[in-house]
Amino acid sequence: MGDTGQPSAGAQTAESAAGDGSDPATRLEHARDRLERAERALEEAGGRDRVETGADAYRNAMKLLETYVDRASGSGRETFKAYVELEGKFSTLIESLPEELPHREAFDASLEAIDKRRLTESDFERAEQALEPASEAADLLEEYEAAREEQKAALTAARTRLETVEAEIEDRKRLLELGDADLEAPVERLQEPIETYNEALREAAFETYRSEASARTVFTLLERSRHHPFVPFEQPPEELREYVETTDAGEYSISKLLEYAQYSRSKLSHYVDDAGELKRRIATRQTYLERLDSTPLELEWPPAEAGVLRHAIRDKRPLVERVGGQELVDRLLAVRRLTFDNDVDFDRLQRAATAIEQLSTDERERLADGRIEIELEELREERKHLETVLSADS
């Protein structure tokens, strides 16, 4: 096509991308402006319906020329037959066009270029050149479609960026809250009793429980944990649970069952009624049984806020007692008492422990020199701009 005075869709997209940079709000504003210009151009050309009619006619005419350029060029009976077909279809196309269609004369000029008894490729080239004024409609429609797609993409990008900005604002607010913590506070007053409890649970009580309690007893504990939201044990697969509950193998400990699963069938037959079934049930679920540890009963570090920690300890207590008895429960309750002790100032130590654990070196530096506050203000300004721009599309 020749120069119709309208920028191509590809050129317009490149221009828009270069002008918008990476700012989603600005990109959306540019995309909206581009779409408005494309819509005005359609109206000035007679409206979208008329432009679509002209674009379809241009494309159909070009397709006819491209289809017949080889078949209707030269001499011979088949060539002449193809030429007659081309002329008939081209004439029918022109006759269907509205008289007021812009650049309608270009179709007449194109037909005139091939109105010969013997055609060459140069005749087809002249016919295509004659059609070029009519390509304006196709260009206008192409630009409108491209502008509409860009506006949709820019709208999605702006909405996505707004969600990201909201999350980043919350993150900076969290950092500022952590920055208010006393990083010199003696957090070991909380850490030591929590670690003492966790170590006693992990290294003594639970390992003993796995080694001495029957698998059936352990699975009963796991079933009870369903009603304790702060004790998130993974439940055993149904076929393994059924096997442990209904066969004599369930009387053995988990540690012993894992050991037995490595025995030969002949050796294993001395311990269970069906050696093959034990090997199938236990060996196929070995990973689950090996992963079963004390983690759901442990206390996290840094600790949760006082109210949450109290609920967690109350929730864990009955199961902890089953695993480690009163001695382990006493260690657990010693942590709970800290949440009520005014001399400890639990809230201050909890905030400090959280800050020490969660703040990176970079974040501490940015808090110290005020960059976090600057980032928060910039993010709030960006949010305001995005909301203003997006409101125009609501």
Inform me whether the pLDDT recorded for 205 exceeds 80. yes
User: What contacts 244, CB < 8 A, 6 or more positions away?
Assistant: 215, 216, 219, 236, 250
Inform me whether the pLDDT recorded for 151 exceeds 90. yes
What is the Cα–Cα distance from 46 to 53, expressed in whole angstroms?
Answer: 11
Quick one: what percent of the chain has pLDDT higher than 70? 93
* Closest CA relative to residue 71, chosen from 80, 58, 59, 60: 80
Helix (H, G, I), strand (E, B) or coil at 73: strand
Inform me whether the pLDDT recorded for 240 exceeds 80. yes
73 strand-pairing partners: 119
pLDDT of residue 288: 94
Which phi and psi (to 5°) does residue 73 adopt?
Answer: -95, 135
pLDDT of residue 185: 92
> CA 111: distance to chain centroid?
54
* SS3 per residue for 112-167: HHCCCCCECHHHHHHHHHHHHHHHHHHHHHHHHHHHHHHHHHHHHHHHHHHHHHHH
Helix (H, G, I), strand (E, B) or coil at 119: strand
State the pLDDT confidence band at 91, using cuts at 50, 70 and 90: confident
**Averaging pLDDT over each range in 35-49, 98-112, 157-171, which range is the top one?**
157-171
What is the Cα–Cα distance from 341 to 343, expressed in whole angstroms?
Answer: 5
User: What contacts 299, CB < 8 A, 6 or more positions away?
Assistant: 194, 197, 198, 309, 312, 313, 316, 332, 335
Torsion of CA 26, 27, 30, 33, to 10 degrees: -110
Q: Which two tokens stand for residue 142?
A: 């192409």
End-to-end CA gap in the chain: 39
Q: Which two tokens stand for residue 371?
A: 């960059």
Per-state percent for the chain, helix, strand, coil, to nearest 5: 75, 0, 25
State the pLDDT confidence band at 6, using cuts at 50, 70 and 90: very low
User: What contacts 151, CB < 8 A, 6 or more positions away?
Assistant: 28, 31, 32, 34, 35
* Closest CA relative to residue 228, chosen from 302, 339, 311, 299: 311
Q: What is the DSSP letter of 204?
A: I
Q: Which two tokens stand for residue 185?
A: 């506070």
376, 175 contact by CB (below 8 A): no
What is the Cα–Cα distance from 227 to 224, expressed in whole angstroms?
Answer: 6
The model's pTM: 0.60
Helix (H, G, I), strand (E, B) or coil at 183: coil
Q: Which helix (H) or strand (E) holds 93?
A: helix 77-95
Helices then strands, counting H and E runs in the chain, come out as 19, 0
* Closest CA relative to residue 90, chosen from 70, 73, 65: 65
- Rounded to 10°, the helix 275-283/238-246 angle is 140
Mean pLDDT, rounded, of the chain: 87
User: What contacts 303, CB < 8 A, 6 or more positions away?
Assistant: 190, 194, 309, 335, 350, 353
Tens digit of each residue's pLDDT (9 = 90 or more) over 59-86? 888 887 877 776 767 666 777 777 777 7
Instruction: Output the DSSP codes for 276-289.
Output: HHHHHHHHTTHHHH
What is the Cα–Cα distance from 219 to 253, expressed in whole angstroms?
Answer: 11
Inform me whether the pLDDT recorded for 56 exceeds 70. yes
Tens digit of each residue's pLDDT (9 = 90 or more) over 252-311? 999 999 998 888 888 888 888 788 888 888 988 999 999 999 999 999 999 999 999 999
